[in-house]
Amino acid sequence: MKGQSILLHHQTHPVRAVFWEKNCLNLLDQTELPAEERYIQLNSTDQVIEAIKKLVVRGAPAIGIAGAYGSVVAALEAQRVVSSNQQSYFENKLKALEMARPTAVNLSWAITKMRSVFESSNKTFDTDLIENLLAEAERIHKEDIDSNLKMATLGGHLLGAGAVLTICNTGSLATGGVGTAYGMLAEGYKMGKVTLVFACETRPVLQGIRLTAWELNRARIPYRIICDNMAGTLMAREKITAVIAGADRISANGDVANKIGTYSLAVLAKAHNIPFYVVAPTSTFDLNLMSGADIPLEERDASEVLSVLQGKTPKFDIPVWNPAFDLTPNSLISAIICERGVINSPNRERIAETLKAK
C-alpha cells in the first residue's frame, strides 16, 4: 500500500477510523490492528480502491464514508487532467470506487449521493465543485455519527440484563461513530445491563479477535472471545440474553446480508429462544431488492482461509470456498434497529412504514 504513514502511539477516544485532513483521506490501517495503530494518508483514487479491497477500511458504513471522501480525491485528481478529459476521468473513478466491494450497499449509496452533487453542478472542476463534494462527504459522515447514537439508545433499551453475543466488528472502526451492533451493546453496558460480551473471533479475517477485542479493551468492557464454532455450546451452557449483529445490506423484506457466520448465529439463537437483533442505519437498506436472494455476496481469496496454516504449506493444493458474507432470512430476526426506530419481526410493510417516517 502506497501512501504516507504516521505511527500513532497514544490513541485517544473516540477512534477515528476514517477522516479528511490536508486534502487527503486518512485511514487507520485495520490490517495492522491490534498490533499497530498506524494511519495512512491517501491522495489517489486507486489507493482508496486498494484500501477498500484489502480491508484497510472495512465495515459497511465506514466504506461508504471512505467512498464519499474517495470521490473528493477523484475530483482533485481530475483537476490535474486535461480539461476535455476531466469529466470522463471522474466518472470512471467513481465507477471503480463503487465496485471496490460488492455486498455493502453503503458504498454505492454514498457514491450515488456524490455523483448527484456533480450532476447538479456546472460540471467544471473548480474550487466550488470540490467544496460542494467535500461538504456532501462530511454530511454523509456526520449523518452516520448521528444515526449510530440514535440506534445505540434505541437498542440499549431493548436489552435485558446479562451477557450478549456478537460477531465481526461493528464499532468505531466499522462506522463513522460509536458503531451499530457494538454501539447497542456498549450502550447496554453503560446502562448497567450488559454484564459480559462474547465476541466471535470471526474466521477467516478475524475482525472479532483483532478489532472488536481491541475496541472492547479500549472501552474497558468485559469480554471473552470465542471461536465461531463455540457459539452453540455457549448458548446451551451460558445465559445469553441477546445476539446482536450489524448488516451490509438489507433487502426490502428484511433479509440481512452480514459477515459470514451471522446466519449460523441466527439459527442457533432461534433454537435457544434468544432474541436476535440486527442494528443498521437506513443507508444499509436496499429497497430496490425484493429479497435477500438478490444481494450479491462477495467471495474472497482462498489465501484468507489458508493463512491459518502460518506457512506450514502442504505438498498438495487445498481447495477453498471463501464467502465473506451470508444471508439471514427475516424469519430469524427478532428486530432490526435503525435510526428511525425499531422494526420488530421485520417484513416488507413494517420496513416501508419505518423508513418513510422522517
Residues forming the site for ligand MRU (CB under 6 A): 58-61, 104, 168, 170, 174-175, 180, 207, 246-248, 258-259, 324
DSSP, res 323: B
Burial letters 310-333, b for 16+ CB under 10 A, else e: eeeeeeeeeeeebebbbbbbbebb
Q: Cell 455519527 belongs to which residue?
A: 145
Of 46, 128, 146, 248, the active-site residue reads 248
**Of 81 and 306, CB closest to ligand MRU:** 306
**Of 30 and 86, CB closest to ligand MRU:** 30
Q: How far is the CB of 170 from ligand MRU (least distance, A)?
A: 4
The Cα–Cα gap between 57 and 179 comes to 14
Q: How far is the CB of 122 from ligand MRU (least distance, A)?
A: 36
Q: How far is the CB of 82 from ligand MRU (least distance, A)?
A: 37
Contacts of 36 (CB under 8 A, 6+ apart): 7, 29
Q: Which residues pair with 5 in a beta bridge?
A: 40
Q: Rounded to 5, what percent of the chain is helix, strand, coil?
A: 45, 20, 35
Q: How far is the CB of 257 from ligand MRU (least distance, A)?
A: 8
Look up 248 and say whether it is catalytic: yes
Q: Which residues pair with 198 in a beta bridge?
A: 165, 224
φ/ψ (deg, to 5) at 103: -85, -45
**Of 61 and 292, CB closest to ligand MRU:** 61
The Cα–Cα gap between 57 and 59 comes to 7
**Of 170 and 241, CB closest to ligand MRU:** 170
Q: How far is the CB of 298 from ligand MRU (least distance, A)?
A: 8
State the number of CA atoms in the 13 A half-sphere of 286 facing the CB. 28
**Of 74 and 244, CB closest to ligand MRU:** 244
Contacts of 43 (CB under 8 A, 6+ apart): 3, 23, 24, 25, 73, 76
Tell me the residue nearest to ligand MRU as measured from the CB.
246
Which residues are tagged catalytic?
248
